[in-house]
Amino acid sequence: MAHVKVELSRQNRKAGATLFTMSKITQDMRFKQAVIAYSLKFGVTKAAIRYKTSRQNIYRWLKKYDGTLQSLADRSHRPHSHPNQHTDAEIKLIKDMRRRNPHAGLVVFWVKLRQRGYTRSISGLYRVLRRINGKPIKLPNPKKKSKPYEQMQYPGQRGQIDVKFVPASCLVGEAEGQKFYQYTFIDEYSRYRYLEAFEEHSTYTSAQFIKHVVEKFPYAIECIQTDNGLEFTNRLTSKKPKPTLFESTLEQLGIRHKLIRPFTPRHNGKVERSHRKDNEEFYAVRKFYSFEDFKKQLAVRQRQYNNFPMRPLNWNSPKHVLFSYPNV
């Protein structure tokens, strides 16, 4: 009895699948039948215009139509035979070779097969590999071991300086059309920043800025790191570079100047990241009506940044880390 129930269940599922397939086909066949009926009454051209199909299609359906819907069913376009298909021996060779060379790419794999007597084209091999799920297994790329970043041990050990161009969209009123610049110093140990507004960026303003940094920062600064901009150095633009005013000022102050590798701003990552934060949190929402207005708002931005807790500082603020260090 149980066997009969299982057999009936299988037949019902098979009948349901057949009915579902026929319902999909019948919709297309009924459309063709309606087109044929209209063409027999009003002509093929009018039927093609009304049903938005070609006359060639209608003539082909008329030729097939014998009065039944089944005659309008789409026939398989699959060829009856494949005289050039891969032989069982070739398929076995491909499978065996793929098992021995699971990571070989298509071209390398094809060359290895040809060395063993395989004569098919590379496109034919590709189709077979797709059919038998023989795609190569990709090995993970060996990751470059990054050099550990040097951690500063005390305030003033090294600071980064960079210049940010104030977006023109932020300048309105009498400031419109002018150019303002944000000079930024950041202490690598505490992330404490000193910001200053300038109306130009040159080696002169850079020299003035570092003097102001030394006056404001509570620790002696040992090293300053910058990119290779002309406001800092001319080593990339002159065959016999001479020290710029900024470099001479650093030497007078007893501060070592470290230049990062050209075209690698990530080496000045702390100041670059802080500028990205300025873009998102400051310049995206502020307008400046004059240079004095810009200076005042930049001073507020500096105060907010230095008092904001950060995850790299164990959720302490840069100001707290700086002034909590002994001997301030």
| pLDDT per residue as tens digits for the range 238-257 | 888 899 999 999 999 999 99
Q: Determine the average pLDDT of the residues in 30-45.
A: 91
User: What are the pLDDT digits (tens) for 92-120?
Assistant: 999 999 999 999 999 999 999 999 999 99
- The pLDDT value recorded for residue 268 is 92
The answer on pLDDT for 38 being more than 80 is yes
Q: Is the pLDDT of residue 6 over 70?
A: no
At 305-328, the pLDDT tens digits run 999 999 999 999 999 999 999 875
User: What pLDDT does 292 receive?
Assistant: 96
Mean pLDDT of 137-159: 84
Q: Which of 77-81, 95-99, 187-191, 219-223 has the lowest mean pLDDT?
A: 77-81
Model confidence at 193: pLDDT above 70: yes
What is the CATH number that goes with domain 159-324?
A: 3.30.420.10
Greater confidence, 208 or 66?
Answer: 208
Q: What is the pLDDT of residues 264-315, one digit of tens each?
A: 888 999 999 999 999 999 999 999 999 999 999 999 999 999 999 999 999 9
Cα–Cα distances in angstroms (integers) from residue 121 to residues 84, 124, 133, 175, 257, in the given order: 12, 5, 18, 69, 62
Work out the end-to-end distance of the chain between its first and last CA atoms, rounded to an integer number of angstroms. Answer: 94
Q: What percentage of the chain exceeds 70 in pLDDT?
A: 91
The one-letter amino acid code at 221 reads I
**Does residue 162 have a pLDDT over 90?**
yes
Task: State the pLDDT at residue 4.
Answer: 40
What pLDDT is attached to residue 165? Answer: 96
Pairing mode of beta strands 159-165, 223-226 = parallel
pLDDT for the residue numbered 118: 92
Q: Which residues of 193-205 are buried (b: 16+ CB within 10 A; e: fewer)?
A: bbbbbbeebbbeb
pLDDT band for position 83 (50/70/90)? confident
The proportion of the chain whose per-residue pLDDT surpasses 90, expressed as a percent, equals: 68
**pLDDT reading at 17 higher than 60:** no
Helix (H, G, I), strand (E, B) or coil at 47: helix
Least confident range from 77-81, 136-140, 181-185, 274-278: namely 77-81
Give yes or no for residue 78 having a pLDDT over 50: yes
pTM given for the model: 0.58
Angstrom distance (rounded) from CA 268 to CA 235: 18
Residue 13 has a pLDDT of: 44
Q: Which of 28, 30, 23, 58 is nearest to 44 (CA)?
A: 58
pLDDT value of residue 18:
45
Residue 221 and residue 31: Cα distance in Å, rounded? 85
Bridge partners (DSSP) of residue 196 are: 183
The answer on pLDDT for 10 being more than 80 is no
**49-78: average pLDDT:** 87
pLDDT at 53 over 80: yes
- Residues, the chain: 328
pLDDT over 70 at 16, yes or no: no
